[in-house]
Amino acid sequence: MAERAPFVITAQTALEADGDEATRVASLFASRIRPATGFPLVVSAPSLATNSIRLLLRPDRTDLGEEGYELSVHPDSVRIVAHGAAGLYYGAQTLRQLLPAEIESDIRVGRPWGIPSLTIRDVPRFAWRGAMLDVARHFFTVDEVKQYIDILAMYKMNRLHLHLADDQGWRIEIRSRPLLTERGAVTEVAGRPSGGGFYTQQDYAEIVRYAQERFVTVVPEIDMPGHINAALVAYPELACSRRPPAPYTGIDVGWSAICVDSAGSYALIDDVVREIAAITPGSWFHMGGDEVQTLTPAQYTGFVQRVQEIVARHGKTPVGWEEIIEAPLQPGTIAQLWRVDSLRHPLAPGVRMLMSPGRHTYLDMKYDASTEPGLHWAGYVDVRDTYDWDPATYLRGVGEDRIVGVEAPIWSETLRNISAVEYLAVPRIPALAEVGWSAQGSRAWEDFRSRLAAQAPRWRFLGINYYRSSQIPW
Ligand code: TNX
């Protein structure tokens, strides 16, 4: 049987959308493909004309959920149908991937822009498909964070977890507590006494806006009660030790703690959570909770309980690293797995897990012994390790229904710029994106590795620094 002809984008192709949300998505897609094609690609209301790419929201298509889409490419038109605007956006990302790699060029390329005739119906497996960026150990500028968001959005990931405070630096302006950034933001790992940096609330709002436009929800994290030295440098009275805390630029963990028995600590935490919650449209606030070595178990669980109440009072759902499950948690709370491969006690009712097992998802782990940046405490993590596992069978007793999704953290102890971040993230981000999106039964490593190889020319056009893993047939 003869294959159907492709749809070809030309100077006359119209982009059509119904309503504000669909129009916004269509405009973003148009601005992405305008430079390479050089075509006007004007966005207008739906018509009956041929030679058009149509983005349509359909209230009756509840079968697609908020993020699913249906894409049909015919010789004379392209149609993306979704129930939610996110679905239209993901459909447009798929369309982008079906175009020749040169579509990613920022300068005009004279070649035909064909898209094969096909129909795709696509709905994500997990609601949470995230990446975490540690902006505390090394600071990344607003533009660098946007570059990272672009990569996430391209692969239909939908959460950016920002690790905003740690021993080495406090990275977000808190207006009622100005010393946090005045004194706590000027350091980062490996010295640079006036390195560091922080986001003003306006900067943060700009990151949130840019992410939101690409259907990525920002999840802010303030790590506590440990990993908190930078805050104690600013407010030494909240440290229970008698010696005033000194700025820290090393990479040891577990040694600092805010004084959990002092009312002043909770007053500060309340100010911090309130101000961050007010500029965060997403539902979540990440309270950290990892690697505390200086408190008794009772002190630790008591602290987690009080902070989860503060987070709830400011209208957010708490997220915390896996250690928080030692405390009695409210239903709805999300515990982020990173280290264990079995649970010592069952999850409380309504608590769900976000899966970030180090040996599969930690993007700061080296690919192999020769990788320059990165650490290797969880082992070497090559692309196949990130791709070839099932979140629903990873932990005994924690099946699909107790899992919100997957997330890839990137800790920045050894990463001084976004180019190093990209080198560790790509191609493991696309690998984890597929773990989060596609049903387990429809994934196969052999098939994935050749599809992944075909992405590399795009990364080159986009100027993304990536690792040429020997596992991939580039
Ligand atoms: C463990 S993962 C940490 C971080 C480090 C990371 C380095 C987690 C919750 N805590 O403080 O940066 O290892 O890979």
Q: Give the residue, by CA position, lying nearest to ligand 1 atom 5.
A: 411
Which residue has a Cα nearest atom 13 of ligand 1?
Answer: 411
Q: What atom of ligand 1 comes closest to residue 227's alpha carbon?
A: 11
Q: Is residue 70 a contact partner of residue 64, using CB atoms and an 8 Å limit? A: yes
Q: Would the CB of 188 count as within 6 Å of ligand 1?
A: no
* Ligand 1 atom 8 nearest Cα: 290
Confirm or reject: Cβ of 388 under 6 Å from ligand 1: no
What is the whole-number distance in angstroms between the Cα of residue 229 and the centre of ligand 1? 15
DSSP 365: B
Measured distance CA(465)–CA(462) in Å, rounded: 9
Share of the chain above pLDDT 70, in %: 99
The C-alpha atoms of residue 293 and residue 305 are separated, in whole angstroms, by 18
List, in sequence order, the alpha helices (H) in 327-444.
358-361, 383-387, 391-394, 418-425, 428-437
Q: Is the confidence at residue 210, as pLDDT, over 70?
A: yes
* pLDDT tens-digit readout, 53-78: 999 999 999 999 999 999 999 999 99
Give the ligand 1 atom nearest the CA of 356. Answer: 2
Digit-coded pLDDT (tens) for 339-368: 998 888 789 999 999 999 999 999 999 999
Q: How far apart are CA 241 and CA 233, in angstroms?
A: 12
What count of other Cβ atoms lies within 10 Å of the Cβ of residue 70? 21
Q: Is 291 in the pocket of ligand 1 (CB under 6 A)?
A: yes
Q: Is 179 in the pocket of ligand 1 (CB under 6 A)?
A: no
**pLDDT of 12:** 97
What stretches of 255-388 adopt beta strand conformation (E)?
284-288, 317-321, 334-337, 352-355
Is 89 touching ligand 1 by the criterion CB < 6 Å? Answer: no
Mutate to test the pocket of ligand 1, among 137, 291, 322, 371 (most ligand atoms within 8 A of CB): 291
Which residue type does 327 have? A
Instruction: Give me the active site residues, please.
Output: 291
- Is the distance from CB of 463 to CB of 443 less than 8 angstroms? no
Helix (H/G/I), strand (E/B), else coil: 69: strand
pLDDT of residue 241: 77
3-state helix, strand, coil in the chain (%, to 5): 35, 20, 45
What integer pLDDT is reported at residue 2 of this predicted model? Answer: 56
Report d(CA 310, CA 292) in Å as an integer: 20
Which residue owns the Cα nearest ligand 1 atom 10? 290
| Closest by CA position to 187, among listed 254, 247, 253 | 247
User: pLDDT category, 307, cuts 50, 70, 90?
Assistant: very high
DSSP 3-state assignment of 36?
A: helix
pLDDT given at position 445 = 98
- Write down the pLDDT at residue 194: 58
Give 330's pLDDT tier (boundaries 50, 70, 90). very high
The finding on whether 255 has its CB within 6 A of some atom of ligand 1 is no
Question: Closest ligand 1 atom, CA of 411?
Answer: 12
Q: Is the CB of 290 under 6 A from ligand 1?
A: yes
Q: Which amino acid is at 365?
A: M
Distance 365 CA to ligand 1 centre (A): 11
Contacts of range 21-24, beta carbons closer than 8 Å, 24 or more positions apart: 21/57, 21/85, 21/88, 22/55, 22/56, 22/57, 22/85, 22/88, 24/85, 24/213
SS3 440: helix
> What's the fold here for domain 7-122?
Chitobiase; domain 2 (3.30.379)
Question: Please, which residues have CB within 8 angstroms of residue 183's CB and are 6 or more apart in sequence?
Answer: 233, 234
Q: How far is CA 184 from the centre of its chain?
A: 25
The per-residue pLDDT for range 2-17, each reduced to its tens digit, is: 578 999 999 999 999 9
Give the span between the Cα atoms of 332 and 309, in whole angstroms.
13
Tally of CB atoms within 10 A around 171: 28
Nearest residue to 56 (alpha-carbon basis) of 39, 70, 73: 70
What whole-number distance in Å separates Cα of residue 285 and Cα of residue 161? Answer: 9
Sign of CA dihedral 379, 380, 383, 388: negative
Phi, psi at 186, each rounded to 5°: -90, 0
Identify the CA nearest to 195 among candidates 473, 417, 418: 417
Please work out whether the CB of residue 303 comes within 6 Å of at least one atom of ligand 1: no
323 ligand 1 Cβ < 6 A:
no
The 10s digit of each residue's pLDDT in 75-133 is 999 999 999 999 999 999 999 999 999 999 999 999 999 999 999 999 999 999 999 99
Q: Report the nearest atom of ligand 1 relative to the CA of 378.
A: 14
Alpha carbon distance 256, 273 (integer Å): 20
* Residue positions counted in the chain: 474
Confirm or reject: Cβ of 459 under 6 Å from ligand 1: no
Which residue shows structure tokens 């049903």? Answer: 439
Boundaries of every domain in the chain: 7-122, 128-462
**C-beta atoms surrounding 201 within 10 Å:** 15
In DSSP terms, 471 is beta-bridged to none
Per-residue pLDDT band at 244 (split at 50, 70, 90):
confident
Confidence of residue 242 (pLDDT cuts 50, 70, 90): low
Note the pLDDT tens digit of each residue in 400-452: 999 999 999 999 999 999 999 999 999 999 999 999 999 999 999 999 999 99
Average pLDDT score over the chain:
96
From the CA of 411, how far away is ligand 1's center (Å)?
7
Encoding tokens for residue 80? 């993306």
Quote the CA–CA distance of 177 and 213 in Å, as a whole number.
30
- Give pLDDT, residue 193: 57
Is there a contact between 162 and 210 (Cβ–Cβ < 8 Å)?
no
* pLDDT tens string 261-297: 999 999 999 999 999 999 999 999 999 999 999 999 9
Residues 358, 361, 367, 373: what is their CA dihedral angle, to the nearest 10 degrees? -80
Residue nearest to atom 9 of ligand 1 (CA): 290
128-462: which CATH topology?
TIM Barrel (3.20.20)
Give me the percent of the chain exceeding a pLDDT of 90: 95
The single residue listed with the structure tokens 């795709």 is 120
Nearest CA to ligand 1 atom 12: 411
Whether the bond between 236 and the residue before it is cis, its omega within 30 degrees of 0, is: no
**Closest protein CA for atom 2 of ligand 1:** 338
pTM of the entire predicted model: 0.97
With vertex at residue 169, the alpha carbon angle to CA 166 and CA 174, rounded to the nearest 5 degrees, is 95
* Rounded distance between C-alpha atoms, residue 470 and residue 41, angstroms: 40
The closest of 55, 47, 46, 51 to 24, measured between CA atoms, is 55
Probe target for ligand 1 pocket from 227, 411, 421, with the most ligand atoms within 8 Å of CB:
411
Separation between Cα atoms, residue 234 and residue 402, nearest integer Å: 39
Q: What pLDDT sits at residue 303?
A: 98
Span 250-264, pLDDT tens digits: 999 999 999 999 999
